[in-house]
Structure formats: C-alpha cells, structure tokens
Amino acid sequence: PIENHDILLNAEISEVRDEMLENIDFVFVPVECWSVLMKKYGTSTEHTAIKRQVIEFGEFSKQLKIDLSGVKIEMVFGEIKMKRILSKSDTVEHLKGMMDEIFHVKDTERRLWLKKLPNNYILLKDDQDKLENFTLSGDNLVVILETKQSDGTWSEKYSSAAKVQTNFERNSSSAFGSHKKCGRRHDLHTEHDPS
C-alpha cells in the first residue's frame, strides 16, 4: 500500500517535514496518476494523499511551481480552533467558505479578522485577496470568524482593537509582501518513495 505518513510532520493537516526533498523522499504526481496508483496499490491510512497546487509565481517573469509549504492557518470561531494548510494562491473568499463549512455557519452575516498581534486585528474585507498577501515566510496566520450578534451588532472585541485600515495596505511596502504574485492553480498529490 501507499504510505506517506513518515514524510509528514503533522498528518492531520498534511504538513510535510522540512527536511524532506522532492524526487528523493517523495515525488509529485497529477491527480489522474494518483487515482491510478490508489486503485492499483491502495492505502494503509486515511491521511495518505498530500494535496498541493501548482501556482504561477512572479510578477514579471511567470513560473509554475508547486506550493509545497502553503500557508498554515489557525482558524478560530469562538473557543473552537482548527488548523489547516491552504495554498498561497487561495483567496479570502475560499477561506471564508472553508470556515463556514468547518464551523457550520449558515445564513448569517459574518466577517473574517486577521490577528497580527495579541490585540491587533485587520478586517479581511476584499474576498479576492490572496493569502500570500498576508504572510511572511514561515508565518502562521490566525484568522477569526465573527458572526453578527442576534441584536444585529458586531462584537466590540475585534473592531475596537482593529487597525484603522481594513485589509492589507496595497500601496505601502508592507511586511506582508507584494500583492497578487500567484495566479492559476492545479491540484497535485504526492506519493512517498519507499526506496
């Protein structure tokens, strides 16, 4: 059977160990190839597939690269916390939809806050912003899902501690990095090379 468990640091979120090397410890295969391998060899665990995306990097000279590390996100809703790895090319809209599904939020107005410091939040207002706009290399994002209260108001907890601007400052040389480097994406899976 196919077994990827020993190349993972955290199997729950498919986080690959830093010391793993492509084409030595693992290889990337297209989804169609992965399906054929799974039919032929099967799997020994439920967390065998390590899905990653091919994304377009660069502002002037475009290159396709596999987004191996992705963006580590801690999603928070009330007292509930979940960790996931998403692609740098995923949008705020994609994250919002994922959080709605994970936390079972339906038919209610909601908004996302990016936690920068213990009492410093930025409202993620532009659904088309890419997650890469909010990360530094190696950083984890903490994103909080807030829903409108039954009386129609928002909690003061985040808005009172929020920075004046909403969303990432596009025209500054922000520590978040440059805007919109990633483009199209394509899903891939990895297969552990047991030899």
pLDDT at 194 over 50: no
Q: Cα torsion at 55, 86, 103, 122 (round to 10°)? A: -90
pLDDT at 19 over 70: yes
Q: How far apart are CA 161 and CA 181, in angstroms?
A: 29
Q: Cα torsion at 82, 190, 29, 95 (round to 10°)? A: 10
DSSP letter, residue 103: T
Q: Is there a contact between 140 and 73 (Cβ–Cβ < 8 Å)? A: yes
Q: Which residue has the higher pLDDT, 184 or 129?
A: 129
Determine how many CB atoms are found less than 10 A away from the CB of residue 87: 23
* Mean pLDDT for the chain overall: 77
pLDDT digit string (tens) for 136-155? Answer: 655 688 999 999 888 888 87
77: three-class secondary structure by DSSP: strand
Phi, psi torsion values for 73, nearest 5 degrees: -125, 130
Closest CA to 47 of 18, 86, 6, 80: 6
Tell whether pTM > 0.85: no
Least confident of 7-21, 120-134, 173-187: 173-187
The enclosing H or E element of 86 equals strand 80-86
pLDDT at 37 over 70: yes
